[in-house]
Structure 1
Amino acid sequence: MDQNSWLQNFLTEENVKPDFNKIENVKNFTILWNLFERFFCDKEGSLSTIQQNLTDLKENGYTLPPKSFDVPFNYFRQRYITNKKTNLIFEKLDFRDTKTDKTFKQSLKNCLEGEITVDYDKLSALLIITSRFRNNLFHGSKNIARISEQEESFAQLNNVLMSLLDFLKQSGKLSSAEDKL
């Protein structure tokens, strides 16, 4: 039995037949996260490390390409905001009940509910979301039988990771991929 058939048989729920032919972006996310964590986070992909590295980029004068993160930011703002407040879908990001996670959750909430025009703030918010998707995917919080329903969200996150990695490479902040693989 091939892997997709096995997964479909194993995960079939009432009225839900997972379509593992429609999860290309989820599969790609795993590779893109690996590259992001390796090249941007030096293999330490915590939110604290991610935010510190963003701060370092900004303080060292690296200018993000203007509006390069507007499309994914607007996608997630529309997804997580209803009537200018975070909604139940936002809560499904499943932040842990730690001081650090509470701080990042509040930061993300403020960013999504506010009028953000600074590209670094948008990228910060997007990387918090990306990190939560990563944790929820790899730690069993995502309903894998319904994962194809989040294909567009993963496509947006993949675009964020690719844009950031391209920016870092073009800015000379990365050695070639071959050096670190």
Structure 2
Amino acid sequence: MIQLADIERIAPGVANLSPEEHEALQRFTLLWTLFEAQVLENNASVRKISEIVDSLDVHVVEGDWFKEQLVYFRERYVEDGNTNYRFGHLHLRNNDNPERVRSVLVENNEDPKTQLIACLTIVYRFRNNFFHGLKWAYGLQDQFDNFTHSANLLKMCLEKIPHGI
């Protein structure tokens, strides 16, 4: 059992995380720091994500290697062909290019590079919302799948994207 009772007073709800939730958060945190260091050269931003993905050979993003995550994000953030209330909870900023993300989610943009950028933008917002406290506001409820899919996408990106390009 994971012992977190000593920080429960300052991080309410953390002691109630299941071992699976704790592992998902650990994997996400570790993989994000590796992705930021190795792929984004310690310069995390949607602009940097876009630059890196746009610079890739198209064969790197072709195929279905991130389709599961794209489908997950579409199912989570789209209802009846429009983005839903959860989309607003990503707290996308203007420089995150929310219209690009929306166009991918509602299937108006099928370009693989744009799809990968949109997925990584969502992961970037999870990172910001988690590391900067917004997720703590509601005790990390409903986040297991977000962190699991995000960690899986980051792992695949670390495997597929050449480091230091």
Q: Which runs of 5+ in 2 are unaligned?
A: none
Q: How many residues align?
A: 162
Structure 1: tracts of 5 or more residues without a match: 176-181
Distance (whole Å) between structure 1 residues aligned to residue 121 and residue 34 of structure 2: 17
- Does the CA contact (< 8 Å) of 1:111 and 1:122 recur in 2? yes
Percent identity between the aligned chains? Answer: 27
What is the Cα deviation at residue 85 of structure 1?
0.3
In structure 2, the residue matched to 1:93 is: 90
C-alpha separation between the residues in 1 aligned to 2:90 and 2:99? 12
2:4 and 2:15 in contact (8 A); partners too: no
* Alignment partner, residue 68 of structure 2: 71
Residues 4 and 113 of structure 1: is their aligned pair in 2 closer, same or farther, counting only changes over 3 Å?
A: same
TM-score normalised by length of structure 2? 0.86
Q: Tell which structure's C-alpha radius of gyration is larger.
A: 1
CA contact (8 A) 1:12 1:145 kept: no
Moved over 6 A (4+): none
Counterparts of 1:119 and 1:5, CA distance in 2: 44
In the alignment, which residue of structure 1 is the partner of 2:16? 18
Amino acid in the other structure paired with 1:18: N
The 8 Å contact of residues 69 and 119 in structure 1, kept in 2 or not, is answered as no
TM-score, normalized by length of structure 1?
A: 0.79
